[in-house]
Amino acid sequence: MKLFSRRNDGDAARQAGAYHAWADEPVLRGRRSSAVRPEGADAVVLLITAALLCFGALMVYSASISLADSPKYNTTQYHFLVRHLISIGVAVVTGSVLYRIPLRVWRRMAPYLVVIAVVLLFAVLLPGLGKSVNGARRWINLGVMNLQVTEFVKFAVLTGAAWYTVQQQEYMHSFTKGLMPMAFVMCLISGLISLQPDLGAIMVVVAIAMGVLFLGGLNMRIFLVVSVAVIIVVSLMIYDSPWRVQRVMAYLDPWSSEYALDKAYQLSHSLIAFGRGELLGVGLGASVEKLHYLPEAHTDFILAVVGEETGFAGVTVVLGLYYWLVRRAFAIGRQAIKLDRIFPGLVAEGVGIWIGVQVVINAGVATGLFPTKGLTLPLMSFGGSSLLSTIAAIALLLRVDRENRILMRGGRI
């Protein structure tokens, strides 16, 4: 079923005084509309985001405090906390600016953002521009910070997929006209990311694009065929890389003598951390695994430290907050679509897919449900690029909600 049509919905929108999706301009009547103001940003999204940021900063400090005496870092115990707080400040300021930009502007910018993302993916592979860490070339040095290009790609794909779905709404039932152009772009982006390499980012980016296309009306059979094809391609990528195969084998048997001190070292200590936490945890700051046993405790495996220090109860609360945030994102998206605002609605739901998929993968890796893969926990893990992109996405979500409120109160955008 198509979400809207060019001929009929425009007339209905004018008669109801609602939002005209194709013109991307409000069609309103009455003198009172220009004087109405929204009640403010969505309180639930703001409170959940603030709670995750505050608790994340606390856990980053707890997980990184022992790194001060590490020969690798040789710094103060507040080093990572200060950097993390600065990253939060920069991300919040950036999000405040993005929040003020109307969705009609993002709709016009969407295809250009995808082009910029592709250019950056090429640039990160060039010597002198791309920065390599632990054998992976994923960052561009901007002086004040290192930009992880895949984080910008997620944002660009979010808006690009929503824009494409609206533009091609009449062809979502067609494989050649509805899917192929977007599939070509996604193959190009995925191929460039695989050269970094970063399989986790590929999974999140593809999930965002396919999720938005599906919610926008992509034929179910086409969606299933593409999903199977993606699984096959990912499986071949794993099979073709001996180190990825070893990771999978270590995931299947992390306690074997062959892998426990090698490929499964990180996973085994993450599981030990969760086991030590039991129901209520060992107490804040009392984690043992963060004392140079669990690698990347303040980044990809911060949930393991949460599990050790706050127990099953703490992990449940954190995952519950993420569930609440994702659910709210989909509610805002559905409201926008009811107002005949398809692009903003798909953007809001895409934000929910982005955060939900990344949380599931990160939590699954930390608990041993998925093979080990480096991927941050949104809003909590240490990492400026991840914080910046996630808060930018939440700013778009809040903007969608704000415009929904304005239109429902009879105002103008």
The pLDDT score that the predictor gives to residue 408 is: 86
> Where does 195-288 have alpha helices with state H?
199-215, 220-239, 242-252, 265-277
* Distances 272 to 43, 277, 293, 366, 372 between C-alpha atoms, Å: 37, 9, 10, 11, 15
* Distances 359 to 51, 210, 317, 366, 411 between C-alpha atoms, Å: 16, 17, 13, 11, 36
The pLDDT score that the predictor gives to residue 200 is: 81
The pLDDT score that the predictor gives to residue 2 is: 43
On the question of a cis peptide bond just before residue 197, with omega within 30 degrees of 0, the verdict is yes
- 3-class SS of residue 140: strand
The pLDDT score that the predictor gives to residue 85 is: 93
Phi and psi based region of residue 152 (left: phi greater than 0; alpha: psi -120 to 50; beta: remaining): alpha
Contact status, residue 352 vs residue 330, Cβ threshold 8 Å: yes
The one-letter amino acid at 287: S
Q: Is the dihedral of CA 66, 72, 75, 79 positive or negative?
A: negative
Contact status, residue 388 vs residue 94, Cβ threshold 8 Å: yes
Over its length of 413 residues, how does the chain's per-residue pLDDT go in tens digits?
444 443 343 343 333 333 333 333 333 333 333 333 445 678 899 999 999 999 999 999 998 888 877 767 767 888 889 999 999 999 999 999 999 999 999 999 999 999 999 999 888 888 777 676 666 677 787 766 678 888 999 999 999 999 999 988 787 787 777 788 888 888 899 888 888 777 888 889 999 999 999 888 887 888 888 888 888 887 787 777 776 777 777 777 677 766 666 677 788 888 899 999 899 989 888 888 888 888 888 888 899 999 999 999 999 999 999 999 999 999 999 999 999 899 999 999 999 999 999 999 999 988 888 887 778 899 999 888 899 999 999 999 999 999 999 888 877 77
